[in-house]
Chains A and B, each alone.
Chain A
Amino acid sequence: MVRLDTGRDSAARVDLPPVWPPIRLRTGVWGWIARYPSIALGCFLLSIMLVGAVFAPWLGTVDPTAIATVKRTRPPGAEYWFGSDMLGRDIYSRVLYGTRVSLLVGFSVAVVASVVGLLLGLVSGFVRWADGVIMRFMDGMMSIPPILLAVALMALTRGSVGNVIVAISVAEFPRVARLVRGVVLSVREQPFVDAAIASGTRTPVIIWRHILPNTLGPLIVQATYICASAMITEAILSFIGAGTPPTIPSWGNIMAEGRALWQVKPFVVFFPAIFLSITVLAVNLLGDGLRDALDPRGQKDR
């Protein structure tokens, strides 16, 4: 006969190992990291890059444009941590200063493209007659590959970081507009929007209070991907000489200058490429993490 263990004859009880390890509820910073590992890792890598960019002058760098023709293409060592390029410039300094350009372009494009795209998307989703006009225009813009469009726009102006930001933003915002329009179209059909109309709420207030907050989740996620893609596009533009002017070091033009020597002096290309890859990876990790965290359906068990 099976007897229920009431605890009285505990001496006879065998100490069995627990069926599953006790659940430790982690709170605070570590709990947060455990719940959103990709956001944590993305933020960590990005903040390292950010520190490098902001404090570049104090991190053992020399003038990134100082030419020393007798010390050309030195391999990485004590004097040149990442080696020196064909003009004897310190690659470590150039890569670190190049971080500034990449992050600036990435973040600026993400902000500019999101804001422009958000406004166009809201108008398009809400004003019926404008929808056709705006969306056909966006379709037209999207039929041109973004990099070609950016190259074409750069060809019209002179190379500067500001122009690069504008060119890449123009190439990216149609995607945001289309995304926001889609979200607006689905949110505006929700009964709570009808209820707000029936409550006598004015259209601008409905957009501000009921529509906009519900588009921010997907928009933030999209913005991180735009940030990553803008960094790559900036590097491509600089690589083909259509982006940042050669006087300002950027990962793209460092790689472009090292291109001719990559078989014999691979470090010239290697270091900026590694930095670009890590930064883009970090931004993408952040975006993936945010997508999961902001999607209420995918809410993980706490």
Chain B
Amino acid sequence: MTQPVLEVRDLKKHFDVGGGWLGKSGQSVKAVDGISLTLGARETLGLVGESGCGKSTAGRLILRLIDPTEGEIHLDGKRIDGLSRRQMRAQRRGLQVVFQDPYSSLNPRLRAVDIVAEPLRNFEPLSREEIQARVAALFEKVGLRKDQLSRYAHEFSGGQRQRLVIARALALNPKVIVCDEPVSALDVSVQAQVINLLIDLQAEFGVSYLFIAHDLAVVQHISHRVAVMYLGRIVELAEKKALFAQPQHPYTEALLSAVPVPDPSFQSKRIILNGDVPSPINPPSGCHFHTRCPIAVARCKSEAPALREVSDQHFAACHLR
């Protein structure tokens, strides 16, 4: 692989928990607890995990919407984690976002054309007509009509709104788009349209996606590689085919066994995990998963497994594999 467009090294985010005198209790939620990943050009990396595992926080950290506690973020070879707001603004051309909820991610008081034009106006000294033309071209790319330019966000359906959000993210021709559950608020038929749109746009513009989702079917469809997160850590990272065919980490195995298979004669070998996800304020010692792991041994309790290559380009964080 050539130089990655996005590289994250040992990224951590610990939120202080309120309470106690003067709002400091000394405890913290370890939302993201040391993740490392790379994203190549024209690549889609799926980031999956259940609610509360820190995948959205990881996306917000990479976007620099919140500041990391520790770790490095490199965008296109440039380190961006220590940049000030002003310095960061210049880097935002290369890094855009699509959020989950297409309703709240559009300002209800702006017209569609102004929503999509916002990033253009921030970075490019264009005239009114040029901006209008660029926005109209973007509308066409994402499958919206030109006569919808001057409508307000509430006049669009959910799927159309998400197309608007994608048009806004594409406006500056970024290297990387962080997609934070971009289709989970849409109904299934619209999900497919939006996913296919994202795939088409990747082929056309050569953009890379960090695709955060909890829907394994969607991730399997769009991703090239997949990273699985559990309690703030990446437990497995591999090519999509390898991960879905031969999961190495027991958590991934359990996760995949929960995917329904549309075949009535299929004998489900579902792995049922016991208990709930432990609190990220006091995560279990050693391997975070050992409290629910069906194959845990004594070592798992005391020693945190590192993410290591178990086979070619297939990484897993488990002592036993």
Contact = CB atoms under 8 A, between A and B. Distances in A.
A294 to B, nearest CB: 12
Interface in B104-151: 104-110, 118-119, 122-123
Interface in B264-285: none
A203 to B, nearest CB: 8
Contacts of A29: none
B95 interface: yes
Contacts of B261: none
B160 to A, nearest CB: 16
Interface in B79-103: 85, 89-90, 92-93, 95-97, 99-101
B106 A198 contact: no
B298 interface: no
Contact of A196 (B118, B123, B172): B118
A199 B106 contact: no
A200 B104 contact: no
Contacts of B165: 195
A213 B97 CA distance: 23
Interface string A261-288: 0000000000000000000000000000
B99 A195 contact: yes
Interface in A203-220: 203, 209-210, 213-214
Contact of B92 (A191, A200, A210, A296): A200
Contact of A213 (B104, B109, B118): B109
A100 to B, nearest CB: 37
A200 B101 contact: no
B168 interface: yes
Nearest to A296: B108
B245 interface: no
Contact of A191 (B105, B110, B123): B105
Interface in B157-182: 165, 168, 171-172
Contacts of B118: 196, 199, 201
B65 interface: yes
B109 A199 contact: no
Contacts of A192: 104-107
Interface string A91-108: 000000000000000000
A197 interface: yes
Contacts of B172: 199-200
A201 B65 CA distance: 13
B63 interface: yes
A69 interface: no
Contacts, number: 62
Contact of A198 (B95, B100, B101, B108): B95
A262 to B, nearest CB: 52
A210 B99 contact: no
A194 interface: yes
A190 interface: yes
Interface residues of A, number: 18
**Highest count of chain A CB atoms <10 Å: which of B89, B92, B93, B118:** B118
A194 B168 CA distance: 13
A302 interface: no
Given A191-B99, A214-B109, A198 B122 contact: no
A128 interface: no
Contacts of A194: 60, 63, 65, 97, 99, 105
Contacts of B85: 203
A197 B108 CA distance: 17
Contacts of B123: 200
Contact of A209 (B92, B105, B108, B110): B110
Nearest to A194: B65
**Highest count of chain B CB atoms <10 Å: which of A194, A203, A296:** A194
A34 B172 CA distance: 48
A8 interface: no
A297 interface: no
Interface string A170-209: 0000000000000000000011101111111111000001
A197 B172 CA distance: 14
Nearest to A211: B107
Nearest to A196: B118
B119 A200 contact: yes
Contacts of A214: 107-109
A194 B118 CA distance: 13
Given A191-B104, A192-B106, A200 B89 contact: yes
Contacts of B96: 198-199
B314 to A, nearest CB: 32
Contacts of B109: 213-214
B105 A195 contact: yes
B115 to A, nearest CB: 8
Interface in B245-275: none
A270 B118 CA distance: 58
A201 B93 CA distance: 11
A16 to B, nearest CB: 40
Interface string B32-67: 000000000000000000000000000010010100
Contact of A200 (B65, B93, B106): B93
Nearest to B171: A199
Interface of A: 190-192, 194-203, 209-210, 213-214, 296
Given A191-B99, A191-B101, 14 more contacts: A195-B97, A195-B99, A195-B165, A196-B118, A197-B65, A198-B92, A198-B97, A199-B119, A199-B122, A200-B123, A202-B122, A213-B109, A214-B108, A214-B109
18 contacts: A191-B99, A192-B105, A192-B107, A194-B60, A194-B99, A195-B99, A195-B105, A199-B119, A199-B122, A199-B171, A200-B89, A200-B90, A200-B93, A200-B122, A201-B119, A201-B122, A210-B107, A296-B108
